[in-house]
Amino acid sequence: MSEELRAAIVQDDASGRVLMLGWMDEEALALTRSTGFVNFFSRSRQKLWRKGETSGNTLRVVEVVLDCDEDAVLVRVNADGPTCHDGATSCFTPWLWRRILQREAQGDATSYVASTLAQGTPLAARKVGEEAVEVVVAALSEDDERVISEAADLWFHTLLLLRSRGLDPAAVEDELRRRDR
């Protein structure tokens, strides 16, 4: 590598969500601008690569903006599929969602996540209903520790329900942002 690298922050144009952080040298930046697809310099492989060259999940450029010192770049994009290599919308996906995706991908029949998802949306929906009732009961008659425990179960099962439907929790965040206007 003959040049300095710039941190490249990739942001979804529609939602404003940060999708990933990569590194660009001058060649990667020039290719990004000229091709309309995001290119990076891989520090581990010491070579250029186009995001999505193997997965097909490319990042189509909407805008490229250098910061005031020109040592970082913001790339606003339209993503063609998940951005993270693990199938998540963003590399900054919350831990629990990432764990659910990992357990599903492993397909281990002894995994609660994998077995629940394998049984489909009806089971996931029923579990959300059961957990919601348990949260209400705990809130009305039990201590805070129990409320937290039951809320955690509800949160987890709601994420399983979203996954069973092929939905990303980022869509829920988007809906809540839309309502905040």
Residues 100 and 173 in one domain: yes
Residues 114 and 42 in one domain: no
Q: Tens digit of pLDDT for each residue in 143-173?
A: 999 999 999 999 999 999 999 999 999 889 8
| 18 to 14, 15, 67: CA distances (angstroms) | 11, 9, 16
How many domains are contained in the chain?
2
pLDDT at 85: 86
Residues 102 and 169 in one domain: yes
Average pLDDT over residues 78-103: 91
pLDDT at 123: 98
Amino acid at residue number 53: E
Residues 58 and 100 in one domain: no
Residues 167 and 99 in one domain: yes
Looking at the domain assignment, is residue 88 inside a domain? Answer: no
Out of 18, 47, 79, a domain closes at 79
* Separation of alpha carbons 159 and 169, rounded Å: 7
Confidence of residue 88 (pLDDT cuts 50, 70, 90): confident
pLDDT at 181: 85
Q: Which CATH number does the domain housing residue 24 bear?
A: 3.10.20.810
Domain that holds residue 52: 6-79
Residues 120 and 65 in one domain: no
Residue tagged 């029923």 (tokens): 126
What average pLDDT is seen over the chain? 95
Provide the whole-model pTM.
0.76
Residues 66 and 102 in one domain: no
Looking at the domain assignment, is residue 120 inside a domain? Answer: yes
Q: Tens digit of pLDDT for each residue in 103-126?
A: 999 999 999 999 999 999 999 999
| Residue 174 structure tokens | 């988007």
| Residue 54 structure tokens | 């193997």
Residue tagged 């990933």 (tokens): 20
User: Does 86 score more than 90 pLDDT?
Assistant: no
Residues 68 and 101 in one domain: no
Closest listed residue to residue 170, CA positions, set 88, 111, 106, 109: 88
Q: 10 Å Cβ neighbour count for 35?
A: 13
**Helix (DSSP H) and strand (DSSP E) numbers for the chain:** 6, 6
| 174 to 29, 51, 53, 54, 163: CA distances (angstroms) | 30, 24, 28, 28, 16
Q: Tens digit of pLDDT for each residue in 27-68?
A: 999 999 999 999 999 999 999 999 999 999 999 999 999 999
Confidence of residue 1 (pLDDT cuts 50, 70, 90): very low
Task: Please give the full DSSP string across 151-168, using - where no structure is assigned.
Answer: HHHHHHHHHHHHHHTT--
Q: Which CATH number does the domain housing residue 132 bear?
A: 1.10.287.1080
